[in-house]
A and B are shown apart, each in its own frame.
Chain A
Amino acid sequence: MRFILRRLGFYLIAFWVSITLNFLLPRFMPGDPVSRMFARTQDRMQPEQIEALRKLLGVDDRPIWEQYVDYLHNMVTGQMGVSISRFPTPVTEVIASQVGWTLLLGGTALVIAAVVGNLLGILAAWRRGGAIDSALPPFLIFIGSFPYFWLAMGALYLFGVTLGWFPIRHAFSDTIEPSFSWEFVSDVGMHLVLPALTIVLVSVGGWMLGMRNTMIATNAEDYITMAEAKGLRPGRIMFRYAARNAMLPSVTSFGMSLGFVVGGALLTEVVFAYPGVGYQLLNAVQGLDYPLMQGLFLTITAAVLLANFLVDILYVRLDPRVRAN
């Protein structure tokens, strides 16, 4: 319990830091965002928009701490203001309409990568120096060396443009109305293949190597030798004795990645024009939509912190050493 409370306190501090960062950035950066925006949008801004922006960016004459208290209160109660580029839609509404696609894409890719990577890692460590162990890691490291967006664009060109196997942009075809029909679901699935596969391709190596290295350490433990001496089936030793004890770091990184799913797929979404949070963030940056930008960053941070907190709770359940402390 003490452990959980300690972690909760830590996450609250982290969240407070990110809110404060959001508050300070537009106010103390060289180069004034408001004048940049005015220059860009010329007279097309309505008085309400200007008012909303002034309030958010603190271009009023109140003392800074008063603005800060106001800002903190607004953020904690979820009042993130109004989007500039999609005026007058509230920021929260814009985010809500996009977060689902990001979760779908990131979640699918993460689960596939984690399951396949861990299985490969277990096998590689078990047959140390075997075919999987000697051939796959160098190959995956080489793949992992490429810039992600470069691989994604290559895949898009090869399978989308040249071969035409998969659609090249967006999450579903414009011609189909979103509904829970088989037609729509399969269309979404087809749009998901390329983005998800490219993420899996670059991330599976990390999972595999992490698992492999912990497994090698676990395989050297005495209880593995004991299990072998007892004549247990190799499969049983491999999964129930070795892999089970080597899983712990993988659980941690799964939690971390789960949080990063919300923001981490930014490059993927940009390359495939996938209508998720990351794509929206870049659009907001390019359109100088500061309220939306800040709202998205806070949402992403909150997701990361929440996922990590959940893993901590899970950890207390999985690792008795944490409970003993």
Chain B
Amino acid sequence: MTTSIATTASSVSGETLAGGTLPGTLAGNTAGTPDGGAGLPPGASVRRPNRSLLHGLLTNKKAMVGAAILFVFIALALLAPVLYPDNPSKITGMASQEPDAEFWLGTTAKGQDVLALTIHGARSSLLVGLTVGFASTFIGILVGLASAYFGKFIDEALSLTTNVFLLLPGLPLLVILAAFLPPGLGTVVLVLVVTGWAGSARVLRSQALSIRSKDFVAAAVVTGERPLRIMFREILPNMASIVMGTLLACIIYGIGAQAGLEFLGLGDVSTVSWGNNLYWAGNEGALLTGSWWVFIPSGLCIALVAFSLSLINYAVDEVTNPRLRKIQVRKIQVRKIKNTKPARKPSKPGKRASA
């Protein structure tokens, strides 16, 4: 079988797409799920991994910092109509004003308030990012679970589809699709899901496969549980951490790819979003005329949101992957080896000299 190659390939494929990295898929999926409650009755085995994951995240510093940043942006997006009830694209000031007391982030070449554009931009960017993230992960879960549970022909067919979609170059496909479809927010979401689901399906399938071969799944099959119940109540809860990592990576991909698409002018130019803000900034030559204040805020916001999601993703890895957590053990081992070396020194003078 070819799975060993393809699995490793999938974990790195995503990074070339959006230009960012997918830390979760790089670090986490090589290790199995750390759950020990495989043989427990369904009720108990469903709860345990989730609760320990949540508890681990709540005590993890990276996760809390990430969640705090994310919370600020979600709050800003929700409060945008209260903070700036006017249409953010409305021309309110002079053209290309530097940041001052009235316009905290200055104005664009058209005279729009940059701060209002940035805060309103959060709505569309977060909405598209979250929608794309949840939709691609959901498709990934369906395909991955069906592949792993049914196996044989269904697995072959689904894997083939997944691999083909993984191989088709993402950004060019995105551009072509966006060119043929009528412009609009729905198109952007559709195009991003079409190009984004395969990565998550591939990761989730390999994880589901390893759980499928566990005894408690075999027991569930023998007791005559329905396939859907086994897939969603027995297998899925045991891969909660991978699902979470995939979801976060997909959201990061969604936000980044939307911005890229809109920057190229292939999104819906009439909506206010971070990508469109940057498109207009580029179009109006904001950098060439030195208006850095038009250009910096939207990019920084995208970066901060992506960074906060990456932080949470890393925390999920640290909590669930014991190899990345136990740094102490390795250090002690190294010290022990170092301590033994001087003792050996006199017995092998020749070898030491060469070192």
Q: Does B222 contact A (CB under 8 A)?
A: no
Chain B CB within 8 A of A64 CB: no
* A14-B161 Cα distance, complex, nearest whole Å: 9
B23 touches A141 (CB 8 A): yes
Q: Which of B12, B167, B171 contacts A308 (CB 8 A)?
A: B167
Contact with B along A9-39 (1 / 0, CB 8 A): 0110110011001000110011101000000
Q: Which residues of A sit under 8 angstroms from B282, Cβ to Cβ?
A: 153
- Assess whether B19 is in contact with A293, with CB atoms less than 8 Å apart: no
Number of A residues, CB within 8 Å of B: 81
Majority DSSP secondary structure for residues of A touching B: helix
**Minimal beta-carbon separation of B13 from chain A (angstroms):** 6
Q: Are A14 and B263 in contact (CB-based, < 8 A)?
A: no
Q: How far is the CB of A33 from chain B (nearest CB, A)?
A: 7
**Does A8 reach chain B (CB closer than 8 Å)?**
no
The stretch that binds B, out of A42-50, A68-76, A85-93, A259-267, is A259-267
Known contacts being A209-B26, A217-B30, is A161 close to B327, with CB within 8 Å? no
- A305 at interface (Cβ–Cβ under 8 A)? yes
Contacts of A7 in B (CB 8 A): 2
- Chain B residues with CB under 8 Å of A107's CB are none
Contact bitstring B293-316, A, C-beta under 8 A = 1, else 0: 001000100111011001000100
Give chain A residues whose Cβ lies under 8 Å from the Cβ of B266.
285
Hey, which chain B residues are within 8 Å of A278, CB to CB? 171-172
Residues of A contacting B287 in the complex (Cβ-Cβ under 8 angstroms)? 153, 156-157, 161
A148 and B175 within 8 A (CB): no
* B4 interfacial contact with A, CB 8 Å: yes
Which residues of chain B have C-beta atoms less than 8 A from A239's C-beta?
none
* Contact present for B160 and A300 (CB under 8 Å): no
A228 to nearest B CB, angstroms?
6
B299 engages A17 (CB within 8 Å)? no
Q: How many A-B residue pairs have CB under 8 A?
A: 207
Within 8 A of A (CB), among B309-345: 310, 314, 323-324, 327, 330-331, 337, 341, 344
Check B181–A30 contact: CB distance below 8 A: yes
| Chain B interface category by residue count | 35 or more
A209 proximity list for chain B (CB < 8 A): 21, 23, 26-27
Q: How far is the CB of B265 from chain A (nearest CB, A)?
A: 7
Tell me if A26 and B27 are in contact (CB < 8 A). no
**Nearest opposing residue in chain A for B341, CB measure:** A231
A153's closest neighbor in chain B, by CB? B287
Answer yes or no: A142 CB below 8 A from chain B CBs: yes
Query: Does A216 make an interface contact (CB < 8 A)?
Result: yes
Can you list 21 residue pairs at the A/B interface with Cβ under 8 Å? A6-B2, A10-B163, A129-B327, A141-B307, A145-B306, A146-B299, A148-B18, A148-B20, A209-B26, A210-B26, A252-B8, A253-B9, A253-B13, A256-B13, A262-B169, A266-B171, A267-B19, A278-B171, A293-B176, A296-B172, A312-B5
Interface residues, chain A, with chain B CB atoms under 8 Å away: 3, 6-7, 10-11, 13-14, 17-18, 21, 25-26, 29-31, 33, 128-129, 140-142, 144-150, 153-154, 156-157, 161, 202-203, 205-206, 209-210, 213, 216-217, 219-220, 228-229, 231, 233, 248-249, 252-253, 256-257, 259-260, 262-264, 266-267, 270, 278, 281-282, 285-286, 293-294, 296-297, 300-301, 304-305, 308, 312, 315, 321-322, 325
Q: Which residues of B contact A (CB under 8 A)?
A: 1-2, 4-5, 8-9, 11-13, 15-23, 26-27, 30, 160, 163-164, 167-169, 171-173, 175-182, 256, 259-260, 263-266, 275, 278, 282, 287-288, 292, 295, 299, 302-304, 306-307, 310, 314, 323-324, 327, 330-331, 337, 341, 344, 348, 351-352, 354-355
